[in-house]
Amino acid sequence: MTDATAQLTPAALTTADGKPLKAALAASLAVRRRRALMLVAPLFLFIFISFIVPIGQMLFQSIYNDTFSANAPALRQWFAENPAGTDPDEAAYAALAADLAKMKADKTAGVAGTRINYDVSGTRSLFTSSARGADKLEPPFKEALIAQDKKWADPIIWRAMRSASSPWTFDFYLAANDFTRDDAGKIVPVAEGQAIYKTLFWRTISMSLQITLICLLLGFPIAHLLATLPMRKAMLLMILVLLPFWTSLLVRTTSWMVLLQSQGVLNNLLVGLGLIGEDGRIQMMYNETGTIIAMTHILLPFTVLPLYSVMKTIPPSYVRAARSLGATSWTAFRRVY
């Protein structure tokens, strides 16, 4: 290395037009990064508009709902001044009458009633019917409203209105987990006959695990067979795997209904073979059995294809090498695949 070359530093290196080489390289890389960003920007924008924004709106609406609180300012003020557990007095019913009259004028009784209807079924019609004659009510408002409809004396409705008086709420999440609030505002489990969401949730998890396990048990050997067969035979079997993608979901569902119903092909075949009697036809529709069978048929190709794409890249010689080194067939298969 000459003395002149040794004395050169990165800062001393320049391009043909006299710019520092380091700065020119950084500018070139920045241009490339901006160009790459511009290429993927439409995709990011599409994902943001079609995926992130709707999910964000859904999550926001799950904790914010002002359809009742915005249309019942007098009741909202009464609830703010009186703690949870306070029985509604004449002032509360006067506030309710004023809000019902306002809802009639603004034509929002149905909107406000829908919010309470989430917690207490049938209250939407209560709000709309009471709002029609709200401007004709006279004191005492408590007796007038209860005379109009006895449901206004129900503490459950007042508890629901107290909960809805704030636009911010976690009651939707409580309801989804089979919880509610008592008269004092404490979180308590719902009645045993009304607790359905947890049961459905765990049933969904159970069926998902069963379908996943069945798809793996069926898909793994099918993928292995496709990966090890000669190309000609493998392509014929691959057509059978891809066949569900070429068939409408409606057609597939209808086909399973024809096969599995009580008077369907499968039951008729079993009766014809004498394996079951006419009174012993197997119920395989509209239950877990039919759901598991149909969902396994729909999801099996999604299990086979990823496994096949990986297994196809594994040379069969690995299995032969494992066998020659003393491994059993199961050990060789398990360790290689």
**195 residue type, one letter:** A
At 21, list the tokens.
């080489």
| Rounded distance between C-alpha atoms, residue 161 and residue 118, angstroms | 11
**Helices 288-311/249-260 angle, 10° precision:** 130
Residue 79: predicted pLDDT: 94
DSSP 8-state class, residue 86: P
- Helix H or strand E encompassing 179: strand 179-181
**pLDDT per 10-residue tile (average), the chain, 337 residues:** 51 67 77 86 92 94 92 94 89 95 94 92 92 90 93 92 91 88 80 86 94 94 90 89 85 86 86 84 86 90 92 87 87 84
Handedness of CA 250, 251, 255, 256 (dihedral sign): negative
Total Cβ atoms within 10 A of residue 98: 18
- What is the DSSP-derived secondary structure letter of residue 166? S
Cα distance between residue 327 and residue 321, in whole Å: 9
Q: Residue 188 is inside which H or E element, if any?
A: strand 187-189
Q: Could you count the other beta carbons within 10 Å of the beta carbon of residue 172? A: 14
Cβ neighbours around 211 below 10 Å, total:
20
Spell out the domains of the chain, with CATH numbers in brackets.
Answer: 1-53 (no CATH), 69-193 (no CATH), 198-336 (1.10.3720.10)
Helix (H, G, I), strand (E, B) or coil at 232: helix
Rounded distance between C-alpha atoms, residue 214 and residue 230, angstroms: 26
pLDDT, tens digit, 9 for 90 and up, residues 166-225 = 999 888 898 888 888 776 778 888 888 888 898 899 999 999 999 999 999 999 999 999
| Burial grade of 198 (CB within 10 A; 0-12, 13-18, 19 or more) | middle
As given in the structure block, the two tokens for residue 9 are: 């530093």
Helix (H, G, I), strand (E, B) or coil at 180: strand
Instruction: Fill in the DSSP letter of residue 193.
Output: G
CA dist., res. 134 & res. 108, Å (int): 13
For residue 15, the model assigns a pLDDT of 64
Q: Please state, in angstroms and rounded to a whole number, the distance separating the CA atoms of residues 331 and 336.
A: 8
CA 264, chain centre distance (Å): 33
The amino acid sitting at 280 is: G
Q: Which residue stretches of the chain are H helix?
A: 3-6, 21-47, 53-61, 73-81, 90-106, 109-117, 123-132, 141-148, 155-164, 171-176, 197-228, 231-242, 249-260, 265-272, 288-311, 317-324, 329-336
The rounded Cα 79 to chain-centroid distance in angstroms is: 34
